[in-house]
Structure 1
Amino acid sequence: MAKKMEQIQQEALQRYLAFEEERRLEAQAAASTERMMTRSSIINHHDNLAMERIINQSDLFPIAHLQAGLDVSKAVCRISIRSQSGQLESYGTGFLVAPNLLLTNNHVLETSEAAMYAVAEFNYEDDVHFMPRDIISFRLDPEALFITDEALDFTLVAVEENNQHDIPLTDFGYLPLLPKPGKILEGEYVTIIQHPNGGPKAITIRENEVKFISSDFVHYVSDTEPGSSGSPVFNDQWVVVALHHAGIPDPNDPTKWIANEGIRISSIIQHLSEARSSLEEEHSRELLDQLLTVVMPGSAAEPMEVGVLAEDWYADASGYDPTFLGQGFDVPLPALGEALIDDVAQTADGKRVLDYMHFSIAMSKSRRLAFYTAVNIDGNQLVDVKRSNDRWYFDPRIDEAYQIGPEFYQSNDIDRGHLVRRRDPNWGVDAVKANEHTFHFTNCSPQHKNFNQKAWLDLEDYLLDNARDHSMKVSVFTGPVFRDDDVRYRDAQIPDQFWKVAVMLKGDAALSATAYLQTQEDLIGGDLEFVYGQFGTYQVPVTQIEELTGLDFGNLRDADPMAAGQAARVQRAEDIRL
């Protein structure tokens, strides 16, 4: 083992020196836009300082970062390597990457026989009073699944689902592995949760700068010890970016270390994907599929729950009310142009509009998306309905063939975007029903996950907040722009532009109708990879929305302050002309 570890360290040193020479000959440029966009796509939008940390402008973290670290640490364990007779031989670290799959190094568990006698020990750590917690041990199950690779120095092995005391392994969760590269950039910092020298669980928090990234390896300056092999290496969002496997010795002083090396998770996932076909047992393939189909909670590829609503959920749906703003200020639904009439999805009784609680939708059969949505917002009766699940529904009143369903959004970077925003119709005694109604596929339009919606969301917040603060009533129309050259994906096309028309009373004396256009044009390539291009939200004349969509908004053209003006960029609420 010692000889093999020395060989691994020397190989890591040669890679490190080669990277240093490459940097000396060619100055390192800033991270490319493509890598930066990939990196930023996994950042929670509530973490306002994350991008500043990435570009070394801030060391601030939300305090919840510490709790998140404790949460992910549950899946990290010490691995006790034992002989067939049960004698302790060495220690390593490992971590759960699926409900009952553990990842560690090849040099920790080289063979299935070694794994047969090894033990995964969870909770080997001290509590806040520096008292040891109770260790909970699980045996490994290499007969169910054992995959190892010496070049990438990893081993993936199954773990028993319940230990001898009937404690379920699921108590410790697991760390999802994202297959795409770009989860860490050179110059960022990593965090490692480990069992140094086989001791209690420990963590390296800062001064762990990533120096070099190659196709398969990451080099970082960090504190680790023997026994740390097999530890997860995290970025600031607690996403696993590498599997730690070796320290890099100082070529001038072998008693010192100059860096550490980890194997990139994207390389490990690629190897496992290729190895799947060689597995003979179906059960082994099923276990591996748990890992290969794992995604981060909340991401676009997360499996979607599809529900069914009983008929009475639709029976008394009020739908959009054209007289909502008051007597003498009728705002009818937009009329569909002649070219659109034959493409409307009709109900069994011939209706062209689907009524939900406080909003309505007209659907396109060919595009399987809404021509438009129309919602009434009553700021005097808004109710804060919590989002309790992410269950979506087909509308049984029209054929499912005219609705883009869950299969379209699986295993890609496409988000399900509400057209009628969830909070908008949630007012009055029917707020809960209205909230649930917004989760219909008819109210869903595909958007690339990197589609920058900040200005769009600011606009929606502005409308909703003003409705609440001033007890206003607002009617809002929203929809996509359909173009023949929209990107075609799977069995549908993805709109690259979205529009909104907001109507309210100005001074209780006149209608004000303002129109907005936002584009993800040039952000979506044919392979759905994010393409760096221009995007933004613009206030435009209502007539421009009519020209783009084939809809007729009638007298709203006369209530538009932009009727005779040019489009104007909206970057903040103050830019809006009412």
Structure 2
Amino acid sequence: MSIKPTPRIAAAARTRLAGAAAQIRHSMLMIEERRPGDAEPELSRKVQVYQARTGLSIEEADRKVAKPESGAERIWGKTVDFVDVAFFERGRRAARAVARIITTDGAAVGTGFLISPHLLMTNNHVIGSTQDAAGLLAEFDYERDINGVMLQATRFAFDTKACFLTNDQDNLDYTVLALGRRVTGTKELASFGYIPVSSARNKHQLGDFVNILQHPDGRPKEAVVRENQLVARTGTTLAYVADTEPGASGSPVCNVLWALVALHHWGSPHRELTDESGKEIAKTVNEGIRASSIYTDMSTLRSTLDPSAQSMIDEALRVGLEALPQSSVGETLAGESAMRDAGSAASVSVAKDGTATWSIPLTVSVKLGGLLSPIPETASAALASGPAIQPAGAEARLELDPDYSDRSGYDPRFLGVRIDLPKLSRAQQVIAAKNTEADGGANPYELKYHHFSVIMNGKRRLAFLSAVNIDGSTSKDFDRSSGVISDPMADGDDSEASELWFPEHRIKDSQQTPRDFYEGQTTFDADGNPILDKRRGGHRNRMFQKGHLTRRQDPLWGNDDDLIRYANADTFHVTNCAPQVGFFNMGVGKRPGSEAAAKPHPGGNLYWRALEEYVLSNARTDRQRVSVFTGPLFDDENDFPWDRGRSDMRGFLAPRKFWKLVLRVDGGALQATALVADQSPLIDVLPEAIRRGEALPAPLPYDKVKQYHCSIAELERITGFEFGTKIAEADTYSSRGQRREVSTLDELLQSRRSRRPAKQAAKKVAKKAAKKAKKR
């Protein structure tokens, strides 16, 4: 509990600023040249920000941003000192929601602000635990009126039993907690309004002015207006510079519409800041936690709370779909509803035809898995006191895009030749999960994500298939521990059973696996002894992991950093995973040429993840476009029973085999390569098999895992799908029979299609299709 950031936070912030030095220099140069709009490198963000502030269609906004002389300079540019007069009224409204955090004897600790009718937000380093909150109060109206006279303050106690949520990571550093009884004063909590937390990406761009409402050093409420300008953006933070003293911990950082863009948590004169000539720049650099990152983390951690507290977080997330400060009771703002409709409520884009412009909050409000529930009349159910709730490692870095209508999904024209998703048989359509939000005329079974799509087998609660487009020329890596996007590096994936995964709200819960289904597995070593240290590789290799179908790195491409972060999070939907034994699922994660890469894996190079790494690495090296279909092979007679004794999962079967189809264009010709792999030898030494007497403790039989190159005709037979004649004609399989065991990945994916076998395969596919048509 401190009014000042901890040394740990300060050190981490300085490290982030050092890494963003190039961004900062560029932004400040553009600001100095009175071209602040050019500080923002992402065109898509500039268009969305412009659209949000004008209410234009996305097409018109795109045109005006591309040609600033047509109007964009009114939003940023030479006239940056001009703002709408409503700016002051909106600012006054926002200021009402800001409170001073004090001890019971009146000593100042920091600043906080209401984010919903019941919850206040501040920094974790201001209030880090329920014990901290017990001795603190939120003091509203500690400020002067227009005559300079101090208002009568109203104080509220905190009610951590109703709700307390915090994250002490240095790049999140926030706490959300409920307010309780009024201690002094006469005003009701509802009279102060609130400043919602939104995940919208149209609230800021580099070069923007931001405004801070605060109680610096415990003084009466003050506003730093149009003094700070955004100069850098990292995965979870924003940096902004000013000539003034640093902001106060826990203060809201707002844009020109007074929508929240960040939670202030650190600031300091930054002597390391220099211009291109090395000359020191006398500026105070501030850092705030991005509102979108906090929104995502709140939606992630809500499930750790009891139902009553979850309801309060849900309410805050729901009102967060409105990006502007909300008026207190009885207070209105002229033109408020029209302005909100014109661009400040959601993170989606206006349709090209100009319709359905800002009705998205009604859609987005169900994007949290359908778990939002109303605030109960009494929200005082006990929440056990204890240590702060902290996410595990990378979980807090997952930034889930709340707008599911904006996901492009798999692109059938990605390779320059149209390759549609495979067709399901009639029997498969009966058990396929239907997307409850599919547009009219769209595939009713397709769940679109960023750069990939999934079709679910609702009966088996696993995907029929996942289909992804990979652009090797713009492929990026996402550091799961830091949130940094970089050029391609090695993947350091660890056990995926501990990751946070998101449920899919567009299909029924009964058609997907619960995200906690894989937790708490017990494993045994080769001698039959329990592996107590779950960090050991032996434990991970002998358990079912949530194996990604579309690999986490595959859809991470393009030049929009936010989209890359969203694509990364999308791969963590439960629809995109299937139970895979640790060894089968895990990859080496070694950079070519590194010392680690020189060490052989006990299973050689033919484990499933090795193939996935090989496909992505080659796409990157050759700057090639690749599309990949993948999924489990369902065999209700022979798949492994694995309901884990849960009544809600009774009859669940873990697939023994998986298939993959790699599509690429080589020399102007489409190439299609199919692979099947069997994890049965590994399943047979799982703890469940040992307990049931089906197997004895033994070393993992790496050498028995087999992978096969098969024909497209064979893949159609075993999957039940119709892939179409284009894929059949592009088949690289040219051996006798329908499949052959492969010994190296080069042998598999460097094969080329043979014209004659391809034609023969195409004829077989055509005959098969004709027979099916007659039956129908």
TM-score (norm 1): 0.49
Structure with the largest fraction of strand: 1
Structure with the largest fraction of helix: 2
